[in-house]
Amino acid sequence: MRGVSSIQIIFKSGAFQKYMYTLKQIPEDFIVREISKITPKDIGRFIYVKIIKKNKNTLDVAKELSRKLGIPEKQVGFAGSKDKNAITEQVLSITGVSKDRLQGLLLKDVSLEILGQGNAPISLGDLEGNAFEIVVRNIDQKPVNTITGIPNYFDEQRFGKDNIIIGKHLLKKEFKETLHLISNSRCEEHLQQQNNDFIGALKIIPLRLLRLYVNAYQSYLWNETLALYLQRTGKGIRQVSYSAGTFVNVSNVEEFKDLSVPIIGFGGEDLVNLGFKEIISSLLQKEEIN
């Protein structure tokens, strides 16, 4: 339904509370390898670097590279933000520096490998998908039911603590509420000097981070769209709560394997009539957005 991902699940038993499964107990329990679209060449404006990181999110690595290389943060491109509490592998594009400066660069808990060069930067979405290796701990009994497929919902990694509500505040231009939830010290200093200059304070925050918040809200709306659709059309419905709402799963998931679910936003209008118009209209009304 959304992207291409492969997942390997490893079950590990232990003398723990029965049926209480644990994910991401240590970074090695959650390994993500990006499937990149990039084909490195020998020349080009951009240097492509494969990074393997541990206990750091992608934005933190981009900031550290920017600081150590003395370049604007926007000159470090990546296809997606990867988990912090994990071991993750992905490709970055960097411009404005030489290979020599990158060769000996040392970052804590991050390894760098130069793959080559090219004339295109890496931007959000420039990937084929991700491959996951996930360890599930605290299992006394392995599940006996065979799972043939699951709806491809966005999950907790995308949402964080307040990402959804921050994204909604941004969309509705409620900038005071946005800044209160982001709680950035530099933004707070700006507001002490320039009272009520909320837009000026927001400009301190990297644009791609602000986009991440809006994308989180879009992802939540996408989850709700799919859940409502499956609730109306699926069989053997099972519901599982998560931090932002409820995942709806169905027993006849194979019937939906080619389903394309529109994401609310610019460019999604053409798909709205394909069985989703009423659902999206009611969702927008509930959310008080248009």
Choosing from 60, 83, 126, 258, the catalytic residue is 83
Q: Phi and psi (nearest 5°) for 44?
A: 145, 160
Residue 14 to residue 141: CA distance in whole angstroms: 10
Q: Indicate if 140 belongs to the active site.
A: no
88 token code pair: 């993750």
Q: What are the CA-CA distances from residue 235 to residues 149, 176, 230, 283 (Å)? A: 14, 44, 8, 22
Helix (H) or strand (E) holding 69: helix 58-69
Pairing of strands 30-36, 87-94: parallel
CA distances (Å), 277 to each of 54, 59, 97, 103, 289, in order? 42, 36, 48, 52, 15
Neighbours of 88 (CB within 10 A): 25
Catalytic residues: 83
